[in-house]
Chain A
Amino acid sequence: MEDQVVQNSKLAVSINMGQQNAGLSEDDTTDDDLFLLEDEEEIAPAVKDPLYKWNKAMFAFNDRFYFLLARPITKGYAGFVHEDLRTVINNFFLNISVPIRFVNSLLQFKMKSAGTELLRFGINSTIGVAGLRDVAKTEYGLKSSDEDLGQTLGKYQLGHGAYFILPLLGPSSIRDTVGLVGDLFLYPIGYIRPRFLSLGIYTYEEMNRLSFNPDDYEILKKAAFDPYISVRDAYFQNRKQKVEQ
């Protein structure tokens, strides 16, 4: 596969070279197989964004929400609660979300990951004191595997359908939104009633997660010439890699 790509790229390079104006000399001849990277990508289907208008509006809404509310509140919270405590809280939520990763590992026939998740749950719920410490990772080198229903559906060849930005939650796709809803049935927090309490805890979990890297979105935005396209592309690249893993 790799060989074929290289072959193709050489072909493309020779075509490119033919088109190039004769004025450019020097450094333009050597590492031209970089042009070939282009072909590697051309094989992938183009991104589907039929909901562009909705997405664009949601992008603007989430952007404002992040800068005006989410980030300042999170930063205030982080200044108030020490990082050690936030890590403990993060571990707790990671531990109770074991069912999501366990079931999705099973659905993808990743027996080793499924076993690791069970083992991690056993160790962290006991020695790790109700999941507050991730001793399975620190002491036994058992790492959690990031699996969710969206990835499982992807594994079964289901495409994204369309890019779909969710209010507050951010970039997603039709497939991954279905996955998100499905995973909710495997998440204990989803069963808490009244519903607003369940939603409140979920929001808190997200804020705690954000508190470790509150500026990442701003950096991404700073580094982008077109933030909307940059975020969309990053979302699909990231999900593709997770499905392939």
Chain B
Amino acid sequence: MKTLHVVLLMLLTLIVPMNIYAGTPTDTIKAHVDEVLNVLRASPDGSKRSDEAKKAEIRVIAGRMFDFTAMSKATLGNNWNKLDKDQRTEFIKLLKAMLENAYVSKILGYTDEKAVFIGERSLSPTRVEVQSTLMARNADIPMHYRVLKTEDTWKVYDVIIEGVSLVKNYRTQFRQILAKQTPSELLDVMRQKVGEI
């Protein structure tokens, strides 16, 4: 029995490193983007997966690629302190659901787009901006990922598309809402919006 465990462990160590991207920020993001592109590409054997199956796979990748807690903190800024623990947990959940609902279908629409990684810029000892261009049919779209160093990898906390930071955009909205309303009212607004789509 024990030997079996040892063998299993050894096998695991062989397999696992292939899935962990402890490389540079660019390598990490590139690997995730390639993963997504693989999901979008039609299977070589011609079998077609449903959009729902693809969406589910993209959600799993997004879960590994993004740090939704850091993203939530960044979108709330100082207002984060106004939320109690349960409210924070729900906020993170709702923001994640919102982003997935809105953007996953857009990603499914990508066909022959290519992502080219052009460089990276250090923002602080633990934060880096990975710069890429999405080459679409009629235009090149600058797409920058801001990543945060976690224990074993880099995780995205902000995406900047054509100069528009997702985090800043949400922060402007949340600040406006929280100027007049309480955190629990903000969560009501979010719940309602997520329920709509």
Contact = CB atoms under 8 A, between A and B. Distances in A.
A37 B77 CA distance: 8
B42 interface: no
Interface stretch (A106-114, A152-160, A222-230): A222-230
A90 B138 contact: yes
Contact of A233 (B78, B136, B169, B177): B169
A216 to B, nearest CB: 8
Contact of B173 (A27, A86, A224, A240): A224
A222 B193 CA distance: 8
Interface stretch (A15-23, A95-103, A174-182, A186-194): A15-23
Interface in A118-156: 143
Top 9 closest A-B pairs, CB basis? A241-B163, A223-B102, A38-B77, A222-B102, A233-B172, A34-B74, A237-B164, A212-B138, A234-B164
A230 B173 contact: yes
A233 B77 contact: no
A37 B137 contact: no
| Majority secondary structure, A binding face | helix
Interface of A: 2, 6, 12, 16, 19-21, 23-24, 27, 31-35, 37-38, 41, 47, 83, 86-87, 90, 143, 209, 212, 215-216, 219, 222-226, 229-230, 233-234, 237-238, 240-242
Given A16-B81, A35-B78, A212-B138, A222 B101 contact: yes
B98 interface: yes
Interface string B135-162: 0111110000000100000000100001
Contacts of A224: 169, 173
Max count, chain A CB within 10 A of own CB: residue among B69, B140, B170:
B170
A34 B138 contact: no
B70 interface: yes
Contact of B197 (A41, A222, A238): A222
Nearest to A244: B163
B168 to A, nearest CB: 6
Contacts of A238: 162-164
Contacts of B193: 225
A237 B138 contact: no
Nearest to B67: A31
B103 A219 contact: yes
Given A38-B78, A229-B173, 18 more contacts: A2-B124, A20-B81, A31-B126, A32-B73, A34-B157, A35-B80, A37-B77, A83-B137, A86-B138, A212-B139, A223-B99, A223-B103, A225-B177, A229-B172, A237-B164, A238-B163, A241-B164, A242-B163
Contact of B85 (A6, A12, A23, A223): A23
Given A83-B137, A237-B168, A238-B163, A27 B69 contact: yes
Contacts of B138: 86-87, 90, 209, 212
A6 B124 contact: yes
A49 to B, nearest CB: 11
A35 B77 contact: yes
A143 B171 CA distance: 34
Nearest to A19: B81
B25 to A, nearest CB: 15
Most chain-B Cβ atoms within 10 A of its Cβ — which of A33, A34, A226? Answer: A34
